[in-house]
Structure 1
Amino acid sequence: MTRKVRLGAVGAGWWATSNHFPIFAGRDDVELVGVCGIGPELEAVRDQFGFGMATRDYDELLDQGLDAVVVTTPHDLHFAQAVQAVDRGLHVLVEKPVTLHAEEGWELARRVEAAGVHFLAPYGWNYKPFTVEARKLVEAGHLGEIQHVVCNMASPTTGLFAGDTNHIRALWDSQTSGPDPSTWQSPARGGGYAHGQVTHSSALLFWLTELRAASVMAKVSTAGAAVDLYDAAVITFDNHALGSLSGAATVPDGDPYQVDLRIFGTEGMLLVDTERERVSLHRHDGRKWDLDIEPGAGAYECIVPPNRFIDLITGASTENNSDATVAARSIELIDAMLRSSQAGGAEVRVQEHETADAAKGTR
């Protein structure tokens, strides 16, 4: 593609205006055609970033001759809005959680495959140089067959899920209002730590390993909030490996985010730790890889994914570390976790949905 990517955006809240829109506005190969939203700041957002038009009608936005759409609306709207764009043959970047239910995740993956468009969920840790190197070590077969996984995430997000959501705006350079409590603190709309944060750690796990959850036993705790602040799960994966997953929203403000993966295989083990910037793969035959990682490099940022989305469209890159299949595997795990918790921690089979890979006879 030699002309500019004609980009539309649905959703104009704090995250889009603090992260995505400045990135797209700074690229010479992107034309910001239009922005769709419902808030009182919509026209100000249009003017701030140079969108060609602003509308409260999503269909009107889609009629503007777009190449691609960025979806950053409340969680429960993502699926329908992404489907509308994909079915028009548009490339889509959809914020996480991409959907709230397993069947929607796999339906979206099927539609993306059928339409032949690019789809990216902006999971920032999937694009860090040290996680990319960790993936290469796994792809090289150094772990052997994966047999056990430990996946933990903890965040300074108490206010986001159980308090004043505006406090988090100070961490990001947004000129709009902060996160909407009706999204982040509502179970029906996908609020809570599982959808809001475990989506990150699980997507990193599934991208690194290409595992898929087969069954889940889980419990969550609200600790008096309206949504889950703590999550704990025991997982059986599709290759019969076992795993434990945990999440906590109550890291003190100002402390770093924690994502800690420990993956054990027949030939070695891999440790990935974002808080202490560590990637180590040690094999039973004595070979070791301990990466040199710059201090602070594990801090969360989402700079590469929006840029990679445009690069995929223009052909400048072919590497997508968070495609629709990765997103669907995360969604179905979280869906099963929440269903298991509602059933008192009973084992829940992850719904069987044919992936685009399976349709082609590959894993």
Structure 2
Amino acid sequence: MTKPLRMGLAGGGPGSFIGAVHVMAAQLDRRIVLAGGVFSRDPVKSAEGAAAYGVKSWPSIDAMLSSGEVDFVCVATPNDSHFAIAQKALTSGVHVMSDKPATLTLAEAKSLRDIVRATGRQYGLTHTYTGYPLVREARQLVADGVLGKVRKIVVEYSQGWLTQAVSNKQADWRTDPSRSGLGGCSGDIGTHAFQLAEFVSGLKATELYADLGRVVPGRALDDDCNILLRYDNGARGVLIASQIAAGDRNGLRLRVYGETGGLDWRQETPNTLTLNRHDGPTEVRHAGSPYLLPVAQAGTRLPAGHPEGYVEAFANLYKDFANQIMIGRATLVPGIEDGVRGMAFVTAAVQSSDRRQWLALKDLI
């Protein structure tokens, strides 16, 4: 067996939700081990994080990168530090797996794209939902022409956890423009919805018209988003993202409609994919089934009827990223181009909402 890759974790210390998920997912297939990290800007909290994971804590990102003990760095910090950490890692010859969005600003994302190209290091972006087997099944069905030409895309991502004014570690940085960037809901979950629609459909959004709201009084960033999209094949789309949808938890849903049928997938019931044919029966595909396409079977660990979920989807990204590092070429892991497009989406959405007009994404990318 090939020696496991060594991961260094930036962020993900006490109070972090996503740090533990990164660690579980990365190590699930035994292709990667957590070597240590810089788990917080606070040295005491960083030491606590290291103790919780049973690994070492470096005093700084520079120390971790110069140690020679990590093959890649996972960036699990708030958005304002993504660029600096990724830049240091890449220019030190260390690969990067980063939380989304890629950076705080579009300008940073473009600069990071130049750095990735110049260094030749691998860069992955954790748009986790692309790791679900049935999302990959849907992508392949569209590519194989099962739906005919795609005509319409509807993607929704509804949460209710910011319905009221909230103050905690997770909410505070996401509602702070200096740490989150231009977008609140649009950057945090809107980028997931935007990328998922492009990933499955194989299309690229060319224009958008956005209506972004700040529903909770005193909130500095958007918490509710309603966006119209136009795609490069002439298809039209609707993207709804909200963090003030009271009672909703993680309501990500994607529907893709073509000339001869449509696909429907929901993240909260991720082990089924519905294929609705215009002149035929409805078909429900189940994760783990032997009839699935090879791309879905490759991302499945359990037989049908044994639910797989978020951690396993995350693990598929890490498994593919490990392969990417070893073979030196791209896999299905979202990369820096997705990162630039995501930041262009947020920037265009904010500007469109302010100006009340359609904006072309190509003018920003």
State the TM bucket, normalised to the shorter chain: 0.7 to 0.9
Q: Does the C-alpha gap of structure 1 residues 4 and 133 become closer, same or farther in structure 2, counting only changes over 3 Å?
A: closer
1:231-270 to 2 correspondence within 5 Å?
231-252=225-246, 255-270=248-263
How far residue 229 of structure 1 moved from its aligned partner, in angstroms, is 1.4
Aligned residues: 337
How far residue 249 of structure 1 moved from its aligned partner, in angstroms, is 0.9
Secondary structure of the corresponding residue to residue 116 of structure 2? helix
Secondary structure of the corresponding residue to residue 291 of structure 1? strand
Q: Does the C-alpha gap of structure 1 residues 238 and 195 become closer, same or farther in structure 2, counting only changes over 3 Å?
A: same
Gap runs ≥5 in structure 2: 288-303
Aligned to 2:296: none
Partner deviation per Cα, 1:4-60 (whole Å, 9 max, x = no partner): 4232222233035422234556747425144253123111112222333321x3222
Aligned to 1:332: 344
Q: Does the C-alpha gap of structure 1 residues 132 and 11 become closer, same or farther in structure 2, counting only changes over 3 Å?
A: same
Q: Does the C-alpha gap of structure 1 residues 146 and 28 become closer, same or farther in structure 2, counting only changes over 3 Å?
A: closer
Alpha-carbon distance between aligned partners in 1 of 2:5 and 2:86, rounded to the nearest angstrom: 18
Contact 1:212 1:329 in 2 (8 A): no
Partner deviation per Cα, 1:303-349 (whole Å, 9 max, x = no partner): 44344433443459974332223333233222211121222x22222
Partner deviation per Cα, 1:221-252 (whole Å, 9 max, x = no partner): 11123321110111122233221111111344
1:169-188 to 2 correspondence within 5 Å?
178-179=169-170, 181=172, 183-188=173-178
Alpha-carbon distance between aligned partners in 2 of 1:95 and 1:50, rounded to the nearest angstrom: 23
Letter in 2 for 1:232: N
Q: Does the C-alpha gap of structure 1 residues 298 and 273 become closer, same or farther in structure 2, counting only changes over 3 Å?
A: farther
How far residue 214 of structure 1 moved from its aligned partner, in angstroms, is 1.5
Alpha-carbon distance between aligned partners in 2 of 1:99 and 1:198, rounded to the nearest angstrom: 15
Q: Does the C-alpha gap of structure 1 residues 80 and 143 become closer, same or farther in structure 2, counting only changes over 3 Å?
A: farther
Contact 1:257 1:299 in 2 (8 A): no
1:1-363 to 2 correspondence within 5 Å?
2-13=2-13, 14-24=16-26, 27=30, 29-30=32-33, 32-35=35-38, 37-39=40-42, 40-55=44-59, 57-65=60-68, 66-158=70-162, 162-165=165-168, 178-179=169-170, 181=172, 183-190=173-180, 192-223=184-215, 224=217, 225-252=219-246, 255-277=248-270, 278-284=272-278, 286=280, 289-292=283-286, 300-301=310-311, 302-314=314-326, 319-343=331-355, 345-352=356-363
Alpha-carbon distance between aligned partners in 2 of 1:130 and 1:62, rounded to the nearest angstrom: 36
Alpha-carbon distance between aligned partners in 2 of 1:339 and 1:126, rounded to the nearest angstrom: 28
Contact 1:33 1:64 in 2 (8 A): no
Contact 2:31 2:319 in 1 (8 A): no
Q: Does the C-alpha gap of structure 1 residues 16 and 258 become closer, same or farther in structure 2, counting only changes over 3 Å?
A: closer
How far residue 70 of structure 1 moved from its aligned partner, in angstroms, is 0.8
Secondary structure of the corresponding residue to residue 20 of structure 1? helix
Alpha-carbon distance between aligned partners in 1 of 2:242 and 2:309, rounded to the nearest angstrom: 17
Contact 2:10 2:40 in 1 (8 A): yes
Partner deviation per Cα, 1:36-91 (whole Å, 9 max, x = no partner): 53123111112222333321x32222211232111111112212321222223321
Contact 1:214 1:236 in 2 (8 A): yes
Aligned to 1:357: none
Secondary structure of the corresponding residue to residue 96 of structure 1? coil
Letter in 2 for 1:50: G
- TM-score, normalised on structure 1? 0.80
Contact 1:276 1:298 in 2 (8 A): no
Partner deviation per Cα, 1:113-167 (whole Å, 9 max, x = no partner): 44333222222221112112111111212223322211111013216x84133xx
Letter in 1 for 2:265: V
Aligned to 2:294: none
Letter in 2 for 1:43: A
- TM-score, normalised on structure 2? 0.80
Gap runs ≥5 in structure 1: 166-177, 355-363
How far residue 290 of structure 1 moved from its aligned partner, in angstroms, is 2.6
Aligned to 1:175: none
Alpha-carbon distance between aligned partners in 2 of 1:245 and 1:282, rounded to the nearest angstrom: 21
Alpha-carbon distance between aligned partners in 2 of 1:22 and 1:96, rounded to the nearest angstrom: 18
Q: Does the C-alpha gap of structure 1 residues 250 and 69 become closer, same or farther in structure 2, counting only changes over 3 Å?
A: same
Alpha-carbon distance between aligned partners in 2 of 1:297 and 1:252, rounded to the nearest angstrom: 27
Partner deviation per Cα, 1:179-199 (whole Å, 9 max, x = no partner): 261x11112322621111112
RMSD: 3.1
Contact 2:151 2:257 in 1 (8 A): yes
